[in-house]
C-alpha cells in the first residue's frame, strides 16, 4: 500500500495531466465529483465517538429525513479530509447514512496530512504504522455500535463499509469483527489484503457474511498478481459473493484529490459500489 519505493515511479505513469492547471486556478479537486441524480437533501455534522482507546473525530452525513442503511468509510493513508467528506456526502445523497472516520485519532485530530493527498508518504506512514489488527477490530466494533445508536440509521438493514488504500485491510477486519451487521464491504486499491502472515486479512474471510467488491489497481496487481487468485479461492471456499476486478488505473485512483485520480475508472468503481449496496443493504 502506498509503497514509498514505487510512489514516484507510479506518478510518472498515472499522474493527472490536469492537476497543475487545477491548482493554478485554485479549483479544489474534491469538488469535482459528478452530481447525484435526484440527490437527497442531506444534513452533515462533525461528531466525536467514544472508543476504548479515546475519542475519535469523524464526519457524519445523512439524508435529512427518514432512516437509512449506514455505511462506514475508512479513508486512505492521507486520512479524513475534504475529498473524503465530499465522497461521504455524495453517498449520503444516494440515500445512505454515512460515517467517515479519522483512523489516526489516537495520534491527532484530522486533518492528519498537512497537504492532503499531496503530502509526502514518508510524513504519514508513521500514522499508518501506529495501527494494528487489534486497533482495526476495536475501532470497527465501536463505530458500528455508534451507528446503530443513531436515529438516522435503519437498524433493520445491514451496514456497508468501504476502504481505500490502507483502509482495505480494515474493511476485511470490520466485516469479520461484526459479521451480523456488515452486509456489504468494498475495497478500492486496498493494500496488503493477502500476505503469508497469520494475521493476513484474507484469512478472515471465513468469518464474514458480507457480499464484497474488490477493486484492484493495475500496478498493485502487477506487483502481486497472485493475490486476486487467492482472494477468489478464499471467497469461493467461504461461499461468499465477491466481485474482484483489476482496474486500468494506478494505486489511489478513486479519491478525487489524488495525483493519480482517474475519473472514468473512479466512476466505474463508484457505480459498482452502489450496485453492491442496492443489492446487499436493501
Give me the tens of pLDDT residue by residue for the chain, a chain 282 residues long.
Answer: 455 456 666 667 777 655 444 444 344 444 468 888 889 999 999 999 999 999 999 999 999 999 999 999 999 999 999 999 999 999 999 999 999 999 999 999 999 999 999 999 999 999 999 999 999 999 999 999 999 999 999 999 999 999 999 999 999 999 999 999 999 999 999 999 999 999 999 999 999 999 999 999 999 999 999 999 999 999 999 999 999 999 999 999 999 999 999 999 999 999 999 999 999 998
pLDDT value of position 33:
86
Range of the domain at 230: 43-281
Short-list 115, 36, 104, CA closest to 75: 104
pLDDT value of position 21:
44
- Say how far residue 269 (Cα) sits from the centre of its chain: 12
Interatomic CA distance for residues 155 and 160, integer angstroms? 12
- Residue 86, in any domain of the structure: yes
**Helix or strand (DSSP H, E) at 183:** strand 182-188
- Residue 74, in any domain of the structure: yes
pLDDT value of position 34:
87
- Domain of 126, CATH number, reads 3.40.50.1820
pLDDT value of position 282:
84
Q: How many domains does the chain have?
A: 1
pLDDT value of position 2:
56
- Residue 242, in any domain of the structure: yes
- Residue 22, in any domain of the structure: no
What SS3 class is residue 98? strand
- Residue 88, in any domain of the structure: yes
**Reported pTM:** 0.93
- Residue 133, in any domain of the structure: yes
pLDDT value of position 37:
84
pLDDT value of position 9:
67
Residues 222, 203 contacting (CB under 8 angstroms): no
- Residue 160, in any domain of the structure: yes
C-alpha pair distances (Å), 183 with each of 56, 76, 149, 192: 24, 22, 18, 22
Amino acid at each position: 500500500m502506498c509503497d514509498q519505493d514505487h510512489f514516484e515511479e507510479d506518478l510518472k505513469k498515472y499522474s493527472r495531466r490536469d492537476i497543475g492547471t487545477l491548482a493554478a486556478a485554485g479549483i479544489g479537486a474534491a469538488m469535482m465529483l459528478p452530481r447525484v441524480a435526484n440527490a437527497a437533501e442531506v444534513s452533515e455534522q462533525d461528531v466525536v465517538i467514544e472508543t476504548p482507546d479515546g475519542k475519535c473525530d469523524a464526519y457524519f452525513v445523512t439524508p435529512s429525513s427518514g432512516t437509512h442503511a449506514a455505511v462506514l468509510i475508512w479513508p486512505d493513508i492521507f486520512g479524513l479530509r475534504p475529498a473524503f467528506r465530499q465522497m461521504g456526502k455524495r453517498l449520503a445523497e444516494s440515500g445512505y447514512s454515512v460515517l467517515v472516520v479519522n483512523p489516526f485519532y489516537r495520534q491527532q485530530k484530522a486533518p492528519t496530512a498537512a497537504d492532503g493527498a499531496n503530502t509526502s508518504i514518508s510524513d504519514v506512514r508513521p500514522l499508518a504504522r501506529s495501527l494494528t489488527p487489534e486497533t482495526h477490530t476495536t475501532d470497527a466494533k465501536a463505530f458500528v455500535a455508534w451507528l446503530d445508536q443513531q436515529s438516522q440509521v435503519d437498524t433493520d438493514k445491514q451496514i456497508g463499509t468501504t476502504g481505500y488504500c490502507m483502509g482495505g485491510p480494515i474493511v476485511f477486519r470490520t466485516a469479520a469483527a461484526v459479521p451480523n451487521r456488515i452486509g456489504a464491504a468494498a475495497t478500492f486499491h486496498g493494500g496488503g489484503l493477502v500476505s503469508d502472515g497469520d494475521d493476513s486479512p484474507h484469512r478472515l474471510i471465513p468469518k464474514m457474511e458480507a457480499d464484497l467488491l474488490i477493486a484492484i489497481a493495475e500496478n498493485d496487481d502487477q506487483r502481486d498478481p497472485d493475490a486476486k487468485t487467492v482472494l477468489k479461492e478464499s471467497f469461493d471456499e467461504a461461499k461468499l459473493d465477491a466481485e474482484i476486478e483489476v482496474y486500468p488505473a494506478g494505486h489511489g485512483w478513486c479519491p478525487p484529490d489524488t495525483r493519480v485520480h482517474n475519473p472514468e475508472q473512479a466512476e466505474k468503481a463508484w457505480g459498482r459500489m452502489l450496485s453492491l449496496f442496492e443489492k446487499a443493504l436493501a
